[in-house]
Structure formats: C-alpha cells, structure tokens
Structure 1
Amino acid sequence: MGGLTLFAEYNLAVGIVVSLELLYFLWLEISVLAYRRFILLTVAGLVLAVIGGPITELFAPSLIHWVHGIAALLVIFGFYNPVLNDVRTTEWAQVLLNNPDRIRQQDDWMTPMDDKILEIMHGSNLTLTPSIIAFNTGCSQKEVNRRLIELADHGFVEKIERGKYRLTQRGEQYLCGQFDAVSITNDETGVQS
C-alpha cells in the first residue's frame, strides 16, 4: 500500500474485512434474502460506505461526501422500503432475525401477532378464548380480541360461539406455507383488503 498513510491503510483494511463479513453473512443466511430482498440494498449501502469511502478518500477526496451520501441513501431505502416496510417494528425485526422460516407471505392487514395467535391455535387444536390466547402469547386480551375478529373476517379462524374461536382449514394452510394471504380475493372473503 505504497504511499498511503497508516490511517488510510487501516480504514481500507477495516472496510475490506467488514465487507467480506457482510457478504459471508448473506451467503450463510440466504433464507433472510429469500424473504426480504431489500436487505440487499442495505448491504450494498454498507459495503459502499466501508469500501467505497476509504478508496474515494484516497483517489478522489472531493467526492467522499457523494459516496457517503449515496451509501446512506441505499441503507435508508433498504430499511424504509416504501412498498414492503414491515421491518420498522421491533417485532418484525425479531422474527426476521431469530426465525426467518416463520415469515410467511402476509397481506397488508396482517401483523406479527396474527402469526402468534394462529400458531397457538394450531398447537392446541382446540377451541380457545381470547383470554387464553392472550395469556399464552403475552399480548393484551383487547388486542387479541381485535386480531381474532380480523382473522375471522378473512377466514383464518371461525367464531364458534361468543368469545370462542378455532382455526380453519385456511388458517392451517397458511401456517404450513400452503396458502398465500396476499392471494385472497375480495370475492372469497367479502372483505376489502
């Protein structure tokens, strides 16, 4: 690294190592990309910042702010994708990072809590009340009530009698990955989605 200062050599070495680590992570965790392709934008922004920044600083210092600005925009567009922006919530981020296989193709009306509710109902194979579901999910009973009504409206659960619900075949198919919630038409459910 001939005429480079020690600081420039250090920045370049750190940038290369961090870029290799990010690419290695993506290679190992390909399932994350299968569900959230916009993570590629974020990683591209990070690689541009940690590799492109030091290289630009060495060969074209007047362009360093442009490179960092573009890198920052890529990271922002990656995490705040205007179309599929569900990584904003902590709950989605935890599911995505801890259990990427649990991410299913959900429609706009669905929340991560819906998956929790459906999984509790699937695991028990019983008719359950909102208070039992709330106790087992750690969510409030009021919110579980709201989500159960929404799930029933879309055919994932059915109301047996007042305050008692059970999983439908559509709910089972969704949990097994055999049903894409986004593909529900308004004719099937009678609900505007």
Structure 2
Amino acid sequence: MRQSGTWMTIWDDRILEIIRDEDAGRVGDLAERDAIRVSQPSVSRRCKKLAEHGLLTPLGNGVYTITEEGEAYLDEEYDAENGVYLNRNNSQSGPNASETSQS
C-alpha cells in the first residue's frame, strides 16, 4: 500500500504515474488527460507541491520528471508523509527526513 502524505490529493498519484510512464510530463498535457479531471492551474499547483516534497523535479517551462523518491513512492517503497524509504536502513532518506547525528 502506498504511504501517501496528508498533503497529497487523489490526483497526485495519477500525475506521478503518467509522468513515470512518459519519462516527463508537461502541465498542459497532463491537464488534458482523461485520467486527470482538474484544471491546468490545479495540475500546476500539484506538480509544484510534489516537487517541494521531492517526488518530482521541475525541468522548466512547466515540464516535470519523476525522482527516485517518486518512483519508490509508486512502488510502495517510500513514505511520502515522513520523507523516508520503507524497509531500508536509516542511511537512506528523502528530502523531508530529519538529519541524523554524526559521531
């Protein structure tokens, strides 16, 4: 089961799935998809939010690509709420994970 964040919406999974399948996605093209039934500004906001949380990378001009964390989230290997990988040692974590102390 995917570990979504409380900040996520139902459309975020669709956006991530489409971008993964196509290697990159343009906001305008995503908004025209039947699988996504929200406006272009809404898709743009969702992509920005996904990028803020490390699941997408903006390439410019409204184009996004999926990150390793985004892939892992879709594969049920990443907790988007806490920004950490699941079932891995603590040395791997996402952009929102707290820093560990160094000895």
Shorter-chain TM-score: which interval?
0.7 to 0.9
Q: Secondary structure at the match of 2:65?
A: strand
Deviations, residues 22-50 of structure 1 (Å, cap 9, x unaligned): xxxxxxxxxxxxxxxxxxxxxxxxxxxxx
> What are the residue-to-residue correspondences of 1:57-68 with 2, within 5 Å?
none
More contact order relative to length (CA 8 Å, sep ≥ 6): 2
Query: C-alpha distance in 2, partners of 1:159/1:189?
Result: 17
Alpha-carbon contact 1:107-1:182 (below 8 Å) kept: yes
TM-score by length of 2: 0.74
The aligned amino acid for 1:104 is R
Shift of 1:182: 2.1
Shift of 1:161: 1.4
Query: C-alpha distance in 2, partners of 1:189/1:149?
Result: 15
Structure whose residues are more often helix by fraction: 1
Which of 1, 5, 12 is the aligned partner of 1:114? Answer: 12
Partner of 1:60: none
Q: Secondary structure at the match of 2:77?
A: coil
Query: C-alpha distance in 1, partners of 2:45/2:30?
Result: 12
TM-score by length of 1: 0.41
Query: C-alpha distance in 1, partners of 2:14/2:96?
Result: 22
The aligned amino acid for 2:64 is Y
Query: C-alpha distance in 2, partners of 1:164/1:123?
Result: 14
Partner of 1:165: 64
Query: C-alpha distance in 2, partners of 1:161/1:130?
Result: 11
Alpha-carbon contact 2:18-2:25 (below 8 Å) kept: no
Deviations, residues 99-157 of structure 1 (Å, cap 9, x unaligned): xxxx52111111111001001111212x2210111111232101000000100000100
The aligned amino acid for 1:112 is I
Alpha-carbon contact 1:106-1:182 (below 8 Å) kept: yes
Moved over 2 A (4+): 187-190
Query: C-alpha distance in 1, partners of 2:61/2:28?
Result: 13
After superposition, the CA RMSD in angstroms is: 1.9
Does residue 130 of structure 1 match 2:15?
Answer: no
Q: Where do 5+ consecutive residues of structure 2 fail to align?
A: 85-93, 98-103
Does residue 188 of structure 1 match 2:95?
Answer: yes
Shift of 1:180: 1.2
Give the number of the structure whose alpha-carbon radius of gyration is greater.
Answer: 1
Alpha-carbon contact 1:153-1:189 (below 8 Å) kept: no
